[in-house]
Amino acid sequence: MVIVDEKSMRLPPPPPYWATGPAVPPPFPSSTPREPPKLDTLPPHILLQIVWATFPKTAGFDEGKVERQRKTLYWLSIGLRLVNRGFYIACMNVLRSTYLPAYQSLIRPPYSSDPFPFTSQPSSSSPYSSAYVPSSPPNAPSSPICSVQRETSVLDLFIALKVREDVWADDSELHLERDESFKDLFDLMQPKSRCEDLLRVYGVREGVISVSDSNFSSSSASTSNAAASSSSRSSSSRTPTPSRKTPAIKPLPFSALSISFSTRKIGLILSSRGGKRTIVEVQRSGRDEKLEVATKKLVRELKGWLGGSYV
């Protein structure tokens, strides 16, 4: 027989509570007053939820649910995204994810596509890029708005055109979609921008193109050129002429490069202070040639041009 002592199993009572002051009900007072949240201070995921909440869930009195959602997309494109930077990023996130399947369905085979933004934070800038003119301002902030992926701008143009055409087609049965607008986008602008993005990828891999934020001021360029010329003259006067070596390849800044695209040939254009000029050009085997093949040939020609005639 086991005798259980119930008194020994009881836990000791808690210590007595001593009140230090009058109890204050919530909300508790704070020493530093908090400012009310504003639209420009809300986190991105909250802004994205706000944008998604603007889409109607039911049909209207004289229009269906799909028509109301198309009008909301049109409003995002021409109105809400212009409020501030945060709403611009949130609206473009919704618009790009919504219209990306329609965009990719119009890509002309055998062309490829990759319009999603690619942001770059280079660790150091190229010392050879001060003599060239960038396609965008050098002091532009690196952000999700400014993307080095050039096909993204073609996708944004397609969205701006598509949302308008959809709303106009819903409003009137007499509206006819202008096919020539989409033809210009996908016959010229899309393959051209795609080749430029491929040029950046292959060129960086081969060491002939640099993607960096550089100083493009003419004063710094002239100063560096003068210092380089004076140092070369002084070194040549003091030391004997060394044996001729293979010149090192100086990569070109991607912001100063663009592509001229046609069905027969593709050329690489360099923008400098003296203007624009075509530095290399290759022939295409035809319209059925893949963009990757043509761009690789262009990079090979660029590498030979940099190692030979480029000074």
Task: Please give the single-letter amino acid code of residue 294.
Answer: A
Residue 244: the pLDDT is 52
Distance CA 56, CA 7 (A): 66
CB 76 within 8 A of CB 51: yes
Residue 291: the pLDDT is 94
Residue 2: the pLDDT is 56
Residue 226: the pLDDT is 40
Taking only the tens place, the pLDDT of each residue in 132-174 is 444 444 444 445 567 789 999 999 999 999 999 989 888 887 7
Residue 135: the pLDDT is 47
Residue 177: the pLDDT is 73
Full-prediction pTM beyond 0.75?
no
Residue 13: the pLDDT is 75
Spans of the chain, pLDDT less than 70: 1-10, 17-33, 118-145, 213-247, 309-311
Q: Which residues, including other chains, have CB under 8 Å from residue 155's CB and lie 6 or more apart?
A: 96, 99, 100, 103, 115
